[in-house]
Amino acid sequence: MKKLHVSFRIILDTVFPVLLFGLVLFSSSIQAQSDTLTSTEKSKFERFIRNFDASVYIDAYYTFVLDDPAGDTSNLMEFAANSPFSDEFRLNVASIWLEYNSKNIRGKFLAQFGDIPNLRTSDSEQFIKYMKEAHFGFRAYKTMWVDIGYLPNPIGYESSFPINNQISTVTVGGYFETGNFLGVKVSGQLTPSLFAGIYVGNQYTLAYGKNKRIYGGMTLLYNYKDMFSVNYNNMIGNASIVTSETSHFYLYNNLILTVTPVKNLLLVGQADFGFYGNSPKPPDTTNLASGMSGFLQATYRFTKWFAVSVRGEYMNDPDGAVTQLYAYDGKLRGLLTYGGTVGVEFNPEKHSYIRAEYSYLSADKGNYVFNSMLTDNRNSLTFTAGLRFGIF
């Protein structure tokens, strides 16, 4: 914890002043250069500048565990992709977003500071700690693009950034989904309703860190007039982490459905299911392991500034394909969890929110995975507030 606070203080004291100073110099330079250009040159220069988007995103939170048992010595929430600490005000993230989009070139860089990058990066991968995204791309043919760099994985509806979700906190299944990857993605809009892409690279997973082995996947998205969409994503390859001596061939499938049956009502359903070679579960570790997770979610927006969301979730990894193995009553199995979340959202301004959420999570009896490995369930309240501001 001390290391976390010290590193974050260094960021506040050094990085942000430098960035602010740089922005001031950049703005002054733009103004000076604009004043010396001819009208034709100025028009080209202004078009170039208009291709840039820059903004800052900040999210703060407070989480309170309602049934915290005696003897719980840690305030770190298990399986939390964001809002991971309880009983104190914390900063989820402070992020700087820079984007460039022109007819044939595009790029994106998202820097992040706070609890999210500190928990999502292992000690051996600090070089990537403060990057959420860092990639560039070029138009290869009509609607087909090639993107290269540190790219978001298409798997999963949820994001660790609360601003991208209707419910700030992420499901347990979302916590164990594959993360960003370093590699190449080729994608394009095949028809007005159909988007497709393929990608290849090295994955970065929240639960297990970096995988130096190459893997690939595909994404297909059919969207009918923003009223109904079906999104299928997968991952195929060797899922073994760097330190593993055993190869684990992995086929991971992700299916997302979104429906807007009536105005202001959004329904989301997601299912993840995968197959994992050379199961870690004894006695026969050459068997094929399997697991699944998913959630159902409904969000109704009463007005442009107020919405209510409800979500139910489930995860079952009996063979320990993506989770560790737990022992109870002579039985060994991977993680099993289920639960629900109810949240309300207030939007005082565009790109801002204040949310309050109640979550209940339960695990298989005797696994004791919550509250410092003392209980099989957890009840919690989470309050988040976020704002994105700038040029966008």
From the centroid of its chain, how far is CA 91? Answer: 16
Single-letter code of the amino acid located at 218: M
Give me the percent of the chain exceeding a pLDDT of 90: 56
What confidence tens digit (pLDDT) does each residue in 184-195 have? Answer: 999 999 999 999
Give which of 242, 226, 237 is closest to 183, Cα–Cα.
237
Q: Is the pLDDT of residue 50 over 70?
A: yes
pLDDT class for 7, splitting at 50, 70, 90? very low
Q: Is the pLDDT of residue 275 over 80?
A: yes
Cβ atoms of residues 34 and 40 within 8 Å: no
Q: What is the pTM of this model?
A: 0.84
What confidence tens digit (pLDDT) does each residue in 114-131 have? Answer: 998 877 665 656 667 788
Give me the percent of the chain exceeding a pLDDT of 70: 84
Calpha distance 358→64 (Å, rounded): 10
pLDDT of 83: 94
% helix / strand / coil in the chain, to the nearest 5?
A: 15, 50, 35
From the centroid of its chain, how far is CA 127? Answer: 19
pLDDT of 42: 75
Residue 39: phi and psi, rounded to 5, are: -60, -40
What confidence tens digit (pLDDT) does each residue in 235-267 have? Answer: 998 766 666 666 778 899 999 999 999 999 999
Question: Any alpha helices (H) in the chain, and if so which ranges?
Answer: 2-10, 16-36, 39-50, 115-119, 172-175
Question: Any alpha helices (H) in 96-238, and if so which ranges?
Answer: 115-119, 172-175
pLDDT of 8: 39
Four-residue CA torsion sign, 22, 25, 29, 35: positive
Give which of 181, 174, 175, 213 is closest to 198, Cα–Cα.
181
pLDDT of 245: 66
Residue 170: phi and psi, rounded to 5, are: -105, 150
Number of other residues whose CB lies within 10 A of the CB of residue 4 = 13
Lowest-pLDDT range of 103-107, 171-175, 283-287: 283-287
